[in-house]
Amino acid sequence: MGTESIELVVVEDDPKTMKSLLKLLGAFPDFQVVGSAVSGESAIETISALKPSVALLDLELPGIDGIEVTKRIKKTVPEVEVLILTSFEDEVKVYKAMQAGAGGYLVKGRSSDKIHDAIKDVLTGGTVIEPRLARRFWNYFQSVQAKPEHDNTQVKLDSVESDILQMIARGLTNQETGEVLSMERRTVRSHLSHIYKKLGTSSRAEAVTIALKNGWITL
């Protein structure tokens, strides 16, 4: 594989789903699956040892569940991005996983292109959220999110920054946001960096929450 390949570890306890994921991911030349695991304990060992770019992680695992695995991974190898794979449309579990440090989640059965975009997106600081669950997710996120430490009352986002956060809140990836707003993915990323700086955060989820609370964007 070339130096550009993105190293992945897949954690899934269902053999059929694992086989299908490995086949799907193997079709992309820019991905390299370097390891896999079928339980929470083995997931922690494998991810800690291999330090992949992204861990695709099932939430419902035997032994230690996906939320606890995420917590431990982000503590020991914080550079690894975690993308949750779930068959459950349960925003409480997803919220807990994202609070633990996951970069987003996908409901199983999404198209290979969607999974490909999601992996690329979490690597560029994105948060991946199912568009059809975005409203429920952010409503829940807002209801349990503590008040941000920074005072954002004096902050002003320009119209492009507001538009970008609006798209992200609806569950669009950086790539999709760029397509809607006629800009390149890297331009979206650059705008997001400015937004984070303005809001005093490094988390896309917190940036969206702050924007929603201040009425800069709506769902």
Domains, the chain = 6-123 (3.40.50.2300), 140-213 (1.10.10.10)
Spans of the chain below 70 pLDDT: 1-3, 89, 91, 144-153, 202
Which pLDDT score is estimated for 28?
A: 95
Rounded to the nearest angstrom, the gap between the alpha carbon of residue 154 and the centroid of all alpha carbons in its chain is 29
CA–CA dist 91, 129 (Å, integer): 10
First to last CA, the chain: 42
- pLDDT of the residue at 2: 44
pLDDT for 89 equals 67
Confirm if 83 and 74 have CB atoms less than 8 A apart.
no
User: HSE on the CB side for 1, CA within 13 Å?
Assistant: 13
pLDDT at 175: 84
pLDDT at 1: 41
Written as one letter, the residue type at 58 is: D
Cα 97 to chain centroid distance, Å, stands at 10
